[in-house]
Structure 1
Amino acid sequence: MATNAEIAGRFEEFADLLEADDVEYKPRAYRRAAENIRAHPVPIAGHIEDGNEEVLEEIDGVGDAISSKVLEYVETGDIEELEELRADLPIDIADITRIEGVGPKTAGKLYRELGIETLDDLEEAAEAGEIQEVSGFGPKTEANIRDNIDFAREVGQRQLLGEARPLADDVLAFLESLEAVERCEVAGSIRRWRETIGDVDVLVGTDANEDVIESFLDWGSVDGEIESGPDKASVRVGEIRVDLRVVVPEEFGSALQYFTGSKDHNVRLRNYAIDRGMKLNEYGAFDVSSVDDPDAGQRVGERVAGETEASMYDALGLPLIPPELREDRGEIDAAEADALPDLITREDIRGDFHTHTEWSDGNTSIEAMVDAAAEMGYDYYGVADHAEGPGIVGDMGLSDTEILEQVEQIREVAAASEIEVFAGIEANIDADGEIGLSEEVIDALDVIVASPHSALDQDAATATARLVTAIENPAIDVIGHPSGRMLNERSGLDFDARELARAAADHDTALEINANPRRLDLWGSAVQAALEEAAPISVNTDAHQPSTLEYMRWGVHTARRGWAEPADVINTWELDDVREFLH
């Protein structure tokens, strides 16, 4: 069954190919529809297959023409019009546009001028010096393409956490419903909440291997079997591979620890165990202090732990290390010193400072967004639509006059709301670190989120200086999505995270974890560096409609990957403390 993300991907491809073919207007409509399909809270294909085609009427931006294409795709697996576009423009558009600075229009031009269809074609042309000969290109553009080919190839092989984790939740729900399953959990990078994953790893504890594997292969969501055996099976669900491994219940904990990883964490932990006369593997923790040859087999020595994951760490005198921390960034030393962080949870979040409405590129009114935030139990909420400026397309950005008009409306909504509503803006950090807002606008606003949207190919030193300049601006409260990256699409700015953090700490400017699963920017290691320098953090959703306020889930787990505790994140603070920070 096609997932919402898979359906959305077809319309994103539609938009890219139309733009590559110099079609106007339509690409934006398809992108808006794709965004709303991706964010829709229920599985669209499932409802359609159950005869509930009315589900499409609930999705903003999905009119009759797009609805018919969605139905065609769910029913046949293809969209005839998209196939015709692919035939006219046989470009691997998703791969090629992952190169920073190469958008659909550029891809179309390179196809028409040089016949470039694939990343291999693009690399060959760049190496031969052919790209700089095309009108509108030059040596710098050609060098940038050459430098980013490997990145584009690598990210094309990984899935976004925000697309794979919901599927993992569905797999777990299905397996938990089976009588033969005693325990089950996801493992691998998805359990560590990495921003991208290779596939979905699931572990089951059972004494009935064959029954569980047979049921898994018969699961209604499976689109195809890849392989199967007596203790594991792999299937394809949509475009995502799901790997199931079954173990006996008494070895579930040790297997879960082992298969969760990371590899670096496990190597460090095994060496820690060896120094204490212990041996760790997927079958348990073994005391080998009296064994002549600890490497004689997997189950050598006295087994002292393995039924639970916590017992594996307890056998070494350590507390259970949360999966998000298992990246070999000091977590074992911290555990030994009883200094693991008390990690932030979703329940600690009291508000959100970076969201959008129909005033810019959002899909809903201010009232609807504020009501949705109130329903989530928030104490405060910030509207931060786009200001006009570099990197903001068309008429999506607000002028100073429009910002002041919107502030008035926000104040009216706030007066009728049960929660505090902050009037904000998402300003654009230009190539020099400036934001271009008038003093009148700055004075009228409660919160200013400043984000880079253009010139994302700057070198690290220039990018760092640019962001530090913005941080030093006393008007700015939060630096939004600091790198400007889009996962699996563009790498964004490279910068010195520690220098950024030191500046943020000195100027009481928060660094954002943008919780949109296509961004997750900042990321775990950068958050950890920021906290080591005592920089404040803000976790925001960048929501464009009520359903995407739920993106907070991804942001919180990213904060956890950075070792964040509640006090480190300003939107866990009491309202009075937030007001003081913003003013």
Structure 2
Amino acid sequence: MATNAEIAGRFEEFADLLEADDVEYKPRAYRRAAENIRAHPVPIADRIEAGDEEVLEEIDGVGDAISSKIVEYVDTGAIEELEDLHAELPIDIADITRIEGVGPKTAGKLYRELGIETLDDLEDAAEAGEIQEIKGFGPKTEENIRENLEFAREVGQRHLLGEGRPLADDVLGFLEGLEAVERCEVAGSIRRWRETIGDVDVLVGTNAGEDVIDAFTDWDSVDSEIESGPEKASVRVGEVRVDLRVVVPEEFGSALQYFTGSKDHNVTLRNYAIDRGMKLNEYGAFDVSGVDDADGGQRIGDRVAGETEEGMYESLGLPWIPPELREDRGEIEAAANDALPDLITREDIHGDLHTHTEWSDGNTSIEAMVEAAADLGYEFYGVADHAEGPGIVGGMGLSDTEILEQVEQIREVAAAVDIEVLAGIEANVDAAGEIGLTEEVIDALDVIVASPHSALDQDAETATDRLVTAVENRAVDVLGHPSGRMLNERSGLEFDGTALGRAAAEHDTALEVNANPRRLDLWGSAVQAALEEGAPISINTDAHQPSTLEYMRWGVHTARRGWAEPADVINTWDLEKLREFLH
């Protein structure tokens, strides 16, 4: 069964090959469709196989032509037009474009000039000195390709947000210490807090751009310089590429808005501006209502904003839109109608309900975890070690007897501290949706988190039924990491997010945003789908040691990407309301 990610991958491949073939416009349309297909909360293939092709009408950027190709792929496992394109351009496009500086157009040119189809072909040509002979390439390009071949072979995946953002914070800390830097901020997908990132984008406002770039490329943390010029530079820090762009301070706001993206958000915003006689770009917001040729240059018309990002939106009569929302999922319309959500913040969180101790696979004691939670200023804290069940590595799950013994110890710890300590368990959602706890254990506990850990290759219909069965169980308070995915490792379950959200709302079961940066499960669009059905959300760290309680940062921003407000998240409620919810 084709997953949404698999279908999206075909259109990403389509876009790259079309771009390699010098086709204009179409690649961008395919990339937008791919992104929306990947993020769609409902398994598309299941709906199509059930005869419901109307699901395709729900996906932004998917028109008749792309819809027919999706149906063709679901029905046959192939897209004839893509196969024909492969025959014309037999390039391992994904592999070759992992080389720094080699995009689809370059890959197409390398194929046409030298017949390069694979990374091995590319390495042979580079070693033979053939690439530098191509017009527009040269020795430096060839050397760059040769130096990056090993890296391209090793890295086929994006970096986790939890890996990239700390590096971004370090970059910002370094740049903020430079006298010439007036303003700096991250941009791109990392500022939108996507769960994985391609690289770290940083923007600086300065009147001494070359001085900043020189200092940046000389930074002690830099392992290698990829390229540098008067306005931008790229370096590698460890395995992560960091791209710096410098602009004059008066254009910092417009550049920040432009380079934060997403592309789809920016396109919709620019069209919104055009309808109002305005032009937006990285240099500012321009009133072009009295200009005959608004496309005659980047700085045509009267510049009315650009120094601040807030001003860019204000120039259109809109409030500032938080970066997490800028995915073209209705945020501009909401802003125009004064209906943007009042997004949850880290300060709104009063506690954590899903954590582990040395009783199962955690690394420390109940006392140490509780003390760390108290140090964070939490009002309540839930211990939820693993129960026995399939998928628990190393047999670390607790038996019924051990659970009851742990409850007694939790009560003893709770009596000696000011923070409210809740006795919980992470039960296993088996392949049929059952949790396998006895009534005696259920009655002894304050909170039950139920999570899938095995049988993660079920088809979407079966997976949805399984998860719905779990949330309908009267004992289950929180459905933990619903898909079971591990970013860059396994995709986990696909399920109907709308159906799951509806069931969770009907049965007062919270759906978890697991804040572990390897999970971030639920994710933004799935949170949004759940909230639209009225489902409550719980943000938990799944912490296995005190330091990982700080994972809450990633969970909060992921919930923000799903338009979550404080009242939507049970971790923000006062203890009395939470106790009532926890049955």
Q: Which amino acid aligns with 2:167?
A: L
Indicate the SS of the match to 2:394. coil
Q: Which amino acid aligns with 2:214?
A: E
Equivalent in the alignment of 2:529: 529
Counterparts of 1:451 and 1:398, CA distance in 2: 15
Indicate the SS of the match to 2:194. coil
Counterparts of 1:433 and 1:395, CA distance in 2: 20
Deviations 1:69-116 (A, max 9, x none): xxxxxxxxxxxxxxxxxxxxxxxxxx9xxxxxxxxxxxxxxxxxxxxx
Indicate the SS of the match to 2:245. strand
1:169 to partner: Cα distance: 0.2
1:448 to partner: Cα distance: 0.4
Equivalent in the alignment of 1:441: 441
Matched, 1:416 2:416: yes
Counterparts of 2:432 and 2:275, CA distance in 1: 52
Alignment of 1:64-103 (within 5 A): none
Counterparts of 2:443 and 2:195, CA distance in 1: 37
Counterparts of 1:490 and 1:391, CA distance in 2: 14
1:156 to partner: Cα distance: 3.1
Counterparts of 1:191 and 1:393, CA distance in 2: 35
Counterparts of 2:191 and 2:400, CA distance in 1: 45
1:211 to partner: Cα distance: 0.4
Counterparts of 1:172 and 1:419, CA distance in 2: 35
Indicate the SS of the match to 1:189. helix
**Number of aligned positions between the proteins:** 435
> How has the CA–CA distance of structure 1 residues 155 and 524 changed in structure 2, closer, same or farther, with 3 Å as cutoff?
farther
Equivalent in the alignment of 1:138: none
Counterparts of 2:470 and 2:327, CA distance in 1: 31
Conserved? CA contact 1:156–1:488, under 8 Å: no
Q: Which amino acid aligns with 1:406?
A: Q
Deviations 1:232-266 (A, max 9, x none): 00000001000000000000000000000000000
Alignment of 1:49-64 (within 5 A): none
> How has the CA–CA distance of structure 1 residues 292 and 339 changed in structure 2, closer, same or farther, with 3 Å as cutoff?
same
Counterparts of 2:436 and 2:534, CA distance in 1: 28
> How has the CA–CA distance of structure 1 residues 502 and 154 changed in structure 2, closer, same or farther, with 3 Å as cutoff?
farther
Equivalent in the alignment of 1:272: 272
| Regions of 4+ moved over 4 Å | none
Equivalent in the alignment of 1:353: 353
Equivalent in the alignment of 1:501: 501
Query: TM-score with structure 2 length normalisation?
Result: 0.74
Equivalent in the alignment of 1:102: none
| Percent identity (aligned) | 86
Equivalent in the alignment of 1:337: 337
Alignment of 1:140-539 (within 5 A): 156-539=156-539
> How has the CA–CA distance of structure 1 residues 320 and 178 changed in structure 2, closer, same or farther, with 3 Å as cutoff?
same
Q: Which moved more, 1:538-547 or 1:386-395?
A: 386-395
Indicate the SS of the match to 1:401. helix
Q: Which amino acid aligns with 1:224?
A: S
Counterparts of 1:239 and 1:382, CA distance in 2: 36
Q: Which moved more, 1:390-399 or 1:406-415?
A: 390-399
Q: Which amino acid aligns with 1:459?
A: D
Alignment of 1:568-579 (within 5 A): 568-579=568-579
> How has the CA–CA distance of structure 1 residues 566 and 155 changed in structure 2, closer, same or farther, with 3 Å as cutoff?
farther
Deviations 1:116-167 (A, max 9, x none): xx999xxxxxxxxxxxxxxxxxxxxxxxxxxxxxxxx999331000000000
Conserved? CA contact 1:254–1:283, under 8 Å: yes
Counterparts of 2:303 and 2:564, CA distance in 1: 35
Conserved? CA contact 1:356–1:542, under 8 Å: yes
Deviations 1:319-377 (A, max 9, x none): 00000000000000000000101100000000000000000000000000001000100
Counterparts of 1:156 and 1:446, CA distance in 2: 43
Indicate the SS of the match to 1:286. strand
Indicate the SS of the match to 2:531. helix
Q: Which amino acid aligns with 2:224?
A: G
Q: Which amino acid aligns with 2:211?
A: D
Alignment of 1:126-137 (within 5 A): none
1:394 to partner: Cα distance: 2.3
Counterparts of 2:309 and 2:154, CA distance in 1: 32
Counterparts of 1:446 and 1:341, CA distance in 2: 31
Counterparts of 1:451 and 1:156, CA distance in 2: 29
Counterparts of 1:484 and 1:381, CA distance in 2: 23
Counterparts of 1:154 and 1:271, CA distance in 2: 40
Deviations 1:209-232 (A, max 9, x none): 110000001101000000001100
> How has the CA–CA distance of structure 1 residues 311 and 274 changed in structure 2, closer, same or farther, with 3 Å as cutoff?
same
1:395 to partner: Cα distance: 2.5
Counterparts of 1:162 and 1:453, CA distance in 2: 22
Indicate the SS of the match to 2:181. coil
Indicate the SS of the match to 1:244. strand
Conserved? CA contact 1:186–1:202, under 8 Å: yes
Counterparts of 1:441 and 1:204, CA distance in 2: 56
